[in-house]
Amino acid sequence: MGTRINYSKAAPGAMKAMNGLETYLVGCGLEPALLDLVKLRASQINGCAYCVDMHSLDLRAGGETEQRIYALPVWQETPFFSERERAALLWTEKLTLISLDHVPDEIYEQVRPHFTDEELANLTLAIATINAWNRFGISFRDAPGHYKPARNH
C-alpha cells in the first residue's frame, strides 16, 4: 500500500496550522507522557498504523514501560494506569468515538474531578488534534516504520 499524496507539500498552510496546534499542546501544561498515551490510544482506535508506530516510539523514548504500552487497548482491565490517566483515556475513547453516544453526562462526571477547566479543554484539543492527524495518515496512507522520536525524557 503506497502513499497517496504528500499532503505536507500539497497544503503547507494546513500543516502549519496542525503544527501550530502541536506547538501549543507541548506547552499547555499537560504531562508529555499523558499526551502520548492519549495520542496512542486514539490512533489505535482509529487504526492509524503510522501514528500507532510514532506514538509507541515516543512513549518508549519517554521511558514508558512495554507493559503499559501493550496494555493500553485494555487499560480498563488493568491496574497499570493512574486515576488521572484512566480519566484521560476514557475521555479519549468517548471523544474519538463521539458519534456513538455523544459523551454522556455520566462520563463527563467521571472525568471532571481529575482535570482543571483549562486542562480538560487542552486535553480535548489534544484528542481533536490526534484525530485530525489520524485522518491525514489514514487517508493518504502514511507508511509506518521510518519515524524517529525527537525527544528523550
In this prediction, residue 153 has a pLDDT band, given cuts at 50, 70 and 90, of very low
Instruction: Find all residues with CB under 8 Å of 12, minimum gap 6, and list them.
Output: none
Residue 25 has pLDDT above 70, yes or no: yes
Residue 78 has pLDDT above 70, yes or no: yes
Predicted confidence at residue 1, as pLDDT, reads 65
Residue 3 has pLDDT above 90, yes or no: no
Predicted confidence at residue 112, as pLDDT, reads 98
Q: Mean pLDDT for the chain?
A: 96
* DSSP-assigned letters across all residues of 97-133: THHHH---HHHHHHHGGGS-HHHHHHHHHHHHHHHHH
What integer is the mean pLDDT of 6-30? Answer: 97
Residue 6 has pLDDT above 50, yes or no: yes
What integer is the mean pLDDT of 106-129? Answer: 98
In the chain, the amino acid numbered 129 is T
Cell of 14: 494546513
d(CA 88, CA 119): 10
In this prediction, residue 152 has a pLDDT band, given cuts at 50, 70 and 90, of low
- Consecutive H or E run containing 8: helix 7-10
Nearest to 29 by CA among 120, 128, 110: 120
Predicted confidence at residue 9, as pLDDT, reads 96
What integer is the mean pLDDT of 38-67? Answer: 97
Residue 110 has pLDDT above 80, yes or no: yes
Residue 139 has pLDDT above 80, yes or no: yes
* DSSP-assigned letters across all residues of 29-67: SS-HHHHHHHHHHHHHHHT-HHHHHHHHHHHHHTT--HH
Asked if CATH classification 1.20.1290.10 holds for the domain at 31-139, the reply, yes or no, is: yes
